[in-house]
Chain A
C-alpha cells in the first residue's frame, strides 16, 4: 500500500492475535507513534478504519479498466461488422449494438478483471522479478506484525519499543532494509 520500496530502519512488533493487534493499533496511535503498516495472514475487520487509511480508490481503477473494455468491444464489433466485412444477419442492420451487448459485457468484465490483477501486483510490489519486502515471514502463517518506520517518528526507538510491548506485542524486532 504505502511505501513498498522503503529503505531504512523499521521496528516490527509481533502479535499473536488479531483482536490484540486491532486494539494495539489504537493504543499505539494514541501514544503518538506513526504506524507504517500492519501485516496479517488474513483480512482483519475494521483494521483499515483503525489505521486511518483513506477510502480505497480501487473502484475508480476498476471503472476505468471496465470502460476501456467497453470501448474496445464497441470499436471491435463496429469495425468488423460495418467496415471490414459488412454482413446482414437475421434481417438486422449491418451494425445493431443490441446483438453485441453480450460481447460488450464480456470484454468489459475481462478488461476489468485483468486490469485489477495488474493493479494488485503493482500496488503490492509483487511480480516475477521483484523481490518482495518481508518484515517477518511468520505473517504469512499465524502471526501479525505492526511495522514502524523509525525515520518518520520523532519518538525514540526505546520508547516506541516500550509502547509496542505495552500494547501486547509478544516480541519487538528491528528490521533493516
Chain B
C-alpha cells in the first residue's frame, strides 16, 4: 500500500567522489596498459604459431570474404575499438530511447529514476568520434566493401553483388550517415535534457509537453536510424550476407543492454543511500523489463537463426557456419556464451517475483546481460573483421576497461549536474506511490 511508507526528501545531490574518480582513472590506465601489452605481443608476433594452425583448419569457409588484403596486427586493435564503440553507442542511445518512449506513453512510474537514462547519452560524442576515427583510419582493413576494385568491371576484384549495393554502401554516404546518426541522437537528447533541467528550476507542464513532442520526434528518427546504423556498424562488415531482421535484432540487443545498465545503476545508487523514493515496485518493473527484453532478444535471435537454418541457402548459412565451426572453431565459445548469458541466465535468475525485488538477483542478471551482449557484438563483428586472428587477449580486456570506465565516468559526471530526482516532473507524484 502506498500509504504505508512515508515519502522521503526529494533533494538528493549525487556526489562523484574523489575515490571513485581515482578508481576510474586506475581502470582506464590499466586498460591502456593492457592494450599496449596486447599490441606489443601482436606486433612482435607472439602466438602466431597458434593462428597458423587455425588458419589451416579453417579451410575455405571464409573464402568469399577473402578480399581482405594482407592481414595486419593493427586490424585487431581497430576491430576492438569498433566493437566497443558500437556497443557503448547502443548503451548510451538507449537512455534517450527509454526516456522518449516513457514520455510518449506518458508513463509516470519511471520518473523517479529518470535522471539515470537521461545521463546515459552524454557518452555519445566519444563513441561517435571513435567510430569516425576507426572508419577513417582503418576502414579499408575492416570493411571489405570500401575496396574500389569491387565496383570496377575491368578489375579482377569486381564483384557484381557488392556493386549492386553501391547506392547505399559508398564512403561519402556512409560518412554522412554516421554524422547524421550522432548529430540527431545527441542533438535531440540535448533538447530533452535542457527541458528537464529547466523544469527543475521553473516547474509547470510546458517542459513536459515539449519533451513529449521532441521525444516522439526522436522515436521517429530512431525507428529508421536504429536499423540503418545496425546495417552500417555491424552488418556491412559481412558485405555479401544480409538479414532483413538485423536492424531489429541489434535494437533488441542494445535495448536490453541499456535496461540492464539502468537497473544496475539504480540498484547501485540505492545501495549507496541515494534514490530513497525508488521502492520495490520500481525495481520489480525494471526486473520485468530486463526479463521481457531478454526473451524478446532471444526471440529475434532465434527467428533469424531458424529461418536461415531451415531455408539452408549457402549464401546465408555461411554466416552461422563461420561462427559455429569456421576459423578453427574459435568463435564457437562466444557463440554459446552469448546464448547462455543472454537467454538462459536472465530467464532463470529473474523468473520469480522475489528475485525481481532483490538487489543481488537484479545485479546478477544485469551483469549477465551486460557481459552477454558484449559477446553478442563480439560474435557479430569479429569473424568478419579479423577472422582466424581473433581471440581473447589483453587487447580485448584492455579495450573493454577503457570504454567501460569512460562510460561510467561520463554517467557519474552527468548525474552530478542535476538533482537526482526530477522535483518538478508532473508525473513524479504517481511515481512516488508506484505500487504493484
Contact = CB atoms under 8 A, between A and B. Distances in A.
Interface of A: 45-46, 49-50, 90-92, 98-99, 101-102
B255 to A, nearest CB: 22
B83 to A, nearest CB: 28
Interface in B294-346: 302, 306, 309-312
Contacts of A92: 310, 312
B1 A101 contact: no
B311 A99 contact: no
A98 B302 CA distance: 9
A45 B306 CA distance: 42
Contact of A49 (B1, B306, B311): B1
A98 B301 CA distance: 13
A90 B435 contact: no
- Which of the four size classes fits the interface of chain B? under 10
B1 A98 contact: no
A101 B302 contact: yes
A120 to B, nearest CB: 20
Contacts of A90: 310-312
Main secondary structure of the interface of B (DSSP, over half): helix
Nearest to A99: B310
Interface pairs A-B: 10 shortest CB-CB: A90-B312, A46-B1, A91-B312, A99-B310, A90-B310, A98-B309, A98-B306, A45-B435, A101-B306, A101-B302
Contacts of B1: 46, 49-50
Contact of B306 (A46, A50, A99): A99
Contacts, number: 19
A46 B1 CA distance: 6
A46 B435 contact: yes
Given A45-B435, A46-B435, A99-B306, 8 more contacts: A49-B1, A50-B1, A92-B312, A99-B309, A99-B310, A101-B302, A101-B306, A102-B306
Interface in B162-204: none
Contacts of A101: 302, 306
A91 B310 CA distance: 9
Contacts of B435: 45-46
Interface of B: 1, 302, 306, 309-312, 435
A154 B309 CA distance: 69
Nearest to B313: A90
A10 to B, nearest CB: 27
Contacts of A46: 1, 435
Nearest to B4: A46
A150 B310 CA distance: 65
19 contacts: A45-B435, A46-B1, A46-B435, A49-B1, A50-B1, A90-B310, A90-B311, A90-B312, A91-B312, A92-B310, A92-B312, A98-B306, A98-B309, A99-B306, A99-B309, A99-B310, A101-B302, A101-B306, A102-B306
Nearest to B312: A90
Contacts of A50: 1
Nearest to A26: B1
A92 B306 CA distance: 12
Contacts of B310: 90, 92, 99
A92 B435 CA distance: 50
A46 B436 CA distance: 8
Contacts of B306: 98-99, 101-102
A92 B302 CA distance: 17
A39 B319 CA distance: 58
A101 B311 CA distance: 15
A84 B110 CA distance: 54
A129 B41 CA distance: 80
A50 B4 CA distance: 12
B324 to A, nearest CB: 13
A124 to B, nearest CB: 23
Contacts of A102: 306
B393 to A, nearest CB: 33
A92 B309 CA distance: 9
Contacts of A91: 312
Nearest to A91: B312
A37 to B, nearest CB: 20
Contacts of A99: 306, 309-310
A46 B3 CA distance: 11
A24 B278 CA distance: 29
Nearest to A45: B435
Nearest to A55: B353
A20 B132 CA distance: 62
A49 B310 CA distance: 50
A91 B311 CA distance: 10
A45 B435 CA distance: 8
A45 B2 CA distance: 10
A140 B309 CA distance: 53
B354 to A, nearest CB: 10
A99 B305 CA distance: 10
A97 to B, nearest CB: 11
A118 to B, nearest CB: 24
A28 B383 CA distance: 68
B299 to A, nearest CB: 9
A60 to B, nearest CB: 12
A164 B435 CA distance: 28
A112 to B, nearest CB: 15
A102 B305 CA distance: 13
Nearest to A46: B1
A102 B306 CA distance: 10
Contacts of B309: 98-99
A59 to B, nearest CB: 9
